Amino acid sequence: MDLHELTVSEAGKRIRKREISPVELTRALLAHIATVDASIQAWETVDEAGALAAARRREAELGSGGFVPGLLHGIPFGIKDIYHTAGLRTTAGFPVYADFVPSADAASVSRLRQAGGIILGKTVTTQFAFIDPARTRNPWRLDRTPGGSSSGSGAAVAARMVPGALGTQTAGSLLRPAAFCGVVGFKPSYGRISLTGVFPLSWSLDHAGFIVRTVEDAALLLQALAGLGEHAGTVTSSVDAFWPIAAMRDQLPKLILLLDFLDRATPEVRDHVVRVANTFRNAGALVEERSLPWDLAVALAVHRIIMEVEMAAVHAQTLANHLDAYAPLLRSYVRVGQLVPGHAYIKAQRLRRRLRAATETMMGNGNVLLLPTVSSVAPTLETTGDSSFQSPWSLLGLPSISLPSGRDSDGLPFAIQLVAPFQSDRRLLEVARWCEARLEPLPSPLSDQGDSSR
């Protein structure tokens, strides 16, 4: 296997066994980026010198007597370009910030480094992580969107330019790119991973998360970034302290297949998810079909009102000073948010609490929701896709994960989404691991010969 094909967990195991070095892995990824990124355009900044210098330090640390490697030791990562990175420019996709270089890391970037991770560079984001399409292309088909707003993170991980990348989600900005690009996207419970040092879009909706290629990778990153396993204020970053995926409970999951989303999906997506649900049922899972305990249109309206008002507050001064630099959809949402009356925002927040309570009651003891991640396969480049299948879980702050689950007749990825109760992130990963083991893994999109647009 070529080094750039390694997942986070595979790379970590080989580095700790001294089968490969951090420098070898970093050089292999940089060479692969140089070969493929001209057409995909997943990277805003590639920090070749900084990444290689960090890789040499990680390699030297492995030779130090008594050194205990962290969970992510020697593994390179991409960072969505709204996370502050000390000494490395952070543009947020906004022309005014083209030369902005933070003096300190975002909290989650700092945790990544503490766990031994290497910053390979900054991945392309849509402007301020909103929905105006960025320049990045989908590695499965260059005439299709990779999704947004974590466009570069999804495309870079799918195209094997990096084994994992940080992203954010306010509506569907992690799971949608993961679904369209055929990789794993994880959005933890609200507040699980710190957003300190990340450009905000909507304070009460923003989630930090990541895109990887396996559920085991997701478990590693969650522990590293969320500080799970902390004791007495210190971070337990040793791989020996990690709750390994192999030790997770392998009990049969209880799944609720949500019919509301099947009804809103394209026929091909709907039929695919029904087949996947039957596969899980035949493997022993309890799969129950149900409808939502609330009106999906109401939840989407509540999400939009909260997002618009908070976006207006975030961007009021910057919009006034740099109106012409704003992308058109972002500008229009901010302006609408400035017109929403305060009582509408308060009512939306009250409805939000009711929706979450009703959802938690429906999920009961140990149930996990099953639905399509997206309503269709990746559409064309004038859009980043439909966020209505992901935004309810951002609104409610519930952990969610997208798993690649197959391909359509044109070779584009399908994906399923799993959602668990608040703060049940570990249980969600356990169920996702069980489901992943019963899904056919996808090849690299760059190995697919059926795409004439490349």
Please tell me which residue in 9, 108, 149, 388 is annotated as part of the active site. 149
Tokens 């790119």 correspond to 177
The answer to whether residues 93 and 135 touch, using CB atoms and an 8 Å cutoff, is no
Determine the residue type at 409: S
CA separation for the pair 11, 28 (Å, rounded): 12
Q: How many beta carbons lie within 10 A of that of residue 231, not counting itself?
A: 8
Alpha carbon of 347 to those of 139, 145, 185, 205, 350: distances in Å? Answer: 42, 35, 31, 16, 5
Please tell me which residue in 110, 150, 173, 400 is annotated as part of the active site. 173
Residue 80, CA atoms < 13 Å, CB-side half-sphere: 35
Nearest-5° Cα angle at 41, 385 to 198: 70
CA separation for the pair 347, 24 (Å, rounded): 55
Please tell me which residue in 80, 189, 391, 424 is annotated as part of the active site. 80
Contacts of 122 (CB under 8 A, 6+ apart): 43, 44, 45, 47, 78, 79, 80, 81, 83, 85, 88, 89, 90, 91, 152
Is residue 173 part of the annotated active site? The answer reads: yes
177, burial (CB in 10 Å: exposed 0-12, middle 13-18, buried 19+): buried
User: Is there a cis peptide before residue 149, judged by omega within 30 degrees of 0?
Assistant: yes
Residues with a catalytic annotation lie at: 80, 149, 173
